[in-house]
Amino acid sequence: MSVFERWLSLWVGLAIVGGVAAGLLVPEPFAWIAQQSIAEVNLVIAALIWAMIYPMMVQVDWASVTQASREPKGLGLTLVVNWLIKPLTMAGMGVLFFDLVYADWVDAKTAQEVIAGMILLGVAPCTAMVFVWSQLVRGHAAYTVVQVSINDLVLILAFAPIAGLLLGVTDVTVPWQTLLLSTLLFVALPLVAGVLTRLWLLKAGRDSGSTAEQSSGSSADSKLERFLQVIKPFSMLGLILTVLILFGLQAETILAQPLLMALIALPLILQTYGIFFLSWFMAKRLRLAHPIAGPACLIGTSNFFELAVAVAISLFGLQSAAALATVVGVLVEVPVMLTLVALVNRWRPADQT
């Protein structure tokens, strides 16, 4: 692990502070970035996430994807946590805090909207950032692709019914443009680009490598490894810039409603840690290999915030507490997930360090 990766939490902390400060002092660039959106998917953020995902996709050996069916327990864990446990626990945390614990501090209308926003986060499991977390914990790249792909298929079918049931409404409109565009940008295109890049590098290595070079350790595989070492820093840089931009975009909101945001953040943080530790306990009981257990638990822990924000805005309005709750989910996710990445790495078996 490089020095940059070892101190990644520090760089993220600096990006948070720098993003808020920049958003207040020079808001014009962030206003321009906010306008570069299609179907609630910000294209600048999408490009940075793409930069984070691409290096992992290059590592995917397409032949090994077919082997995922031989290890169904990891897929089962992801599906059970995402669709049977997480939506209910998120709804429960919202009711516990905003109907009971915060009853004297938050008016009833705001409380109900916040609960709705939390439910939308809980019913929208992550797609894009999972690849980043998997890369940081040295997860099984091909298996992670399969987990995310199956999860996205379930998302298309299950999001509206589960959200409608928990929200108590029947007219949840799924923003299909957001859902499909995100899947295309964050799964399909990076996967195709990564597989093609890998095949090209392996072929170039075989074509250019002489017998003497191969005997000295230079091969198609080493050409691939050298390429990965070159692009790996761009993945971490993309993460830092994403954090900086997210906090810069929300700088005024953070200062305008600090108390409400703090009240929302607490149950979201507790929910995130709770789901992770429950998933990790289940993964250990299932005896999942560490490269599969790590990403499986992190998939169930993080959220598809683009989808949650889009639905909250369409149902409750841009200035609603529901939309604010989904935005707070975005802001707390990266710092919290980095602590969980550190735990997964700390718990890696000694023979895999």
Residue 274 burial (CB count, 10 A):
17
Which of 47-56, 141-150, 181-190 is least confident? 181-190
Considering its fold, how many domains does the chain have in total?
1
Q: One-letter amino acid identity for 167?
A: L
Average pLDDT of the residues in 12-21: 90
Residue 314's contacts (CB-CB under 8 Å, 6 or more residues apart) are 173, 175
Please give the structure tokens belonging to residue 217.
Answer: 């350790």
Please give the structure tokens belonging to residue 204.
Answer: 């170039």
Domain of residue 305 covers: 3-352
pLDDT value for 18: 94
pLDDT value for 164: 83
Give the side-chain half-sphere CA count within 13 A for 275.
33
pLDDT digits (tens, 9 = 90+) for 302-348: 888 777 887 887 778 767 888 889 888 888 888 899 899 999 999 99
pLDDT value for 64: 64
Please give the structure tokens belonging to residue 71.
Answer: 């290890």
pLDDT digits (tens, 9 = 90+) for 23-59: 999 999 999 998 888 877 788 888 888 887 788 778 7
CA nearest to 316, candidates 113, 107, 111: 113
Please give the structure tokens belonging to residue 318.
Answer: 């841009």
pLDDT value for 282: 96
Among positive and negative, which fits the CA dihedral 353, 10, 187, 275? positive
pTM reported for the whole predicted model: 0.79
On the question of pLDDT at 256 being above 80, the answer is yes
pLDDT value for 171: 57
Please give the structure tokens belonging to residue 42.
Answer: 């910000």
| Domain harbouring 45, CATH code | 1.20.1530.20
On the question of pLDDT at 241 being above 70, the answer is yes
What mean pLDDT, rounded, does the chain reach? 83
pLDDT value for 221: 64
pLDDT value for 149: 81
pLDDT value for 344: 95
Taking the C-alpha atoms of residue 277 and residue 286, their distance in angstroms, rounded to an integer, is 14
CA nearest to 56, candidates 243, 241, 236, 228: 228
Instruction: Indicate the pLDDT class of residue 68, thresholds 50, 70 and 90.
Output: low
pLDDT digits (tens, 9 = 90+) for 187-238: 778 878 888 888 888 888 777 664 444 444 455 567 778 888 888 778 778 8
Could you tell me where the DSSP H helices lie in 123-250? 129-136, 141-167, 176-183, 189-208, 211-215, 220-249
Give, for 38, the enclosing helix (H) or strand (E): strand 37-38
Vertex 56, ends 133 and 209: CA angle to 5°? 150
On the question of pLDDT at 99 being above 60, the answer is yes
pLDDT digits (tens, 9 = 90+) for 154-175: 887 888 888 888 887 645 566 7
pLDDT digits (tens, 9 = 90+) for 33-42: 988 888 777 8
Taking the C-alpha atoms of residue 185 and residue 203, their distance in angstroms, rounded to an integer, is 26
On the question of pLDDT at 281 being above 90, the answer is yes
